[in-house]
Every structure is written in structure tokens, then in C-alpha cells.
Amino acid sequence: MKSVFLLRKLTVVVCAGLALVSLALSSHARTTLPKIAAGMVYADAKQQLIAQGWQPLPNTDIAQSSLYAQALAEQGMPEVVDCISMALDGCRFRLIKQKQVLEITTITRQLSVETIQFVKAKR
């Protein structure tokens, strides 16, 4: 009789644990990337993201970034992480909302959005 009671109690504990794991996974799965079209000009994408509650994440190490990135920061884009000048000039920008960090990669000097993804915040 005691073993049946312990088995039921263990079953309840295991089910509760599985429910918590399922809840955590489902809330993580609900986190979706904002809809930003590839090719959109970064300034327009940034405005759209700010309207959705995202904020520029200032690059505190901008002095270590490329001269082009430093120029963009001075022009009002403190969220620029860095830029590379090669065949396709590419830059990375970061915005934050609560504890999520969004990174947008652009190409060309017109800063056309290429990719958007979540990244881990630097500590």
C-alpha cells in the first residue's frame, strides 16, 4: 500500500516537472523575430523596431570598431557594432527589448538589411 502511494506521488511530481519544462519551451518558442524585409533600408527598419518597443543598444567599445562604424555612431547610430569594407560593405547593429538582443546585418553603403537574428548580450 505504501509503495502505491509513493508511486502516485512520484508520478505527480514527474508530471508537474514535465509541465514546467513544456511551459518553458512553449514560451521560448513564442519568441519570434520581428518581421523586417530583407533589402529594407536600415533607418526604416530601426524606426519600425523602435515602434515595437526595441531600443538601440549603444556600443560601449566603439573606439575598437572600424572608422566607418565610428562615423555611423557619430551620425546617430550608437547601436552599430562594427562594419567591414570589402566587396559588400557590411555592418552589424544591435537593439534590445527587455533582455533580448536583436542583431541586424546590413550590406552596401546604403545599409540595406540582409539578416536579422537574436544574439546573446555581451556582459
Domain boundaries along the sequence of the chain: 1-30, 34-119
Contact yes or no for 61/83 (Cβ under 8 A): no
| pLDDT score recorded for residue 88 | 83
| pLDDT score recorded for residue 1 | 54
| pLDDT score recorded for residue 123 | 52
Give every residue of the chain whose pLDDT is below 70, as ranges: 1-30, 122-123
Q: What is the pTM (predicted TM-score) of this model? A: 0.74
**CA angle 65-49-96, nearest 5°?**
55
Neighbouring CB atoms inside 10 A of 110's CB total: 11
| pLDDT score recorded for residue 110 | 94
Contact yes or no for 50/89 (Cβ under 8 A): no
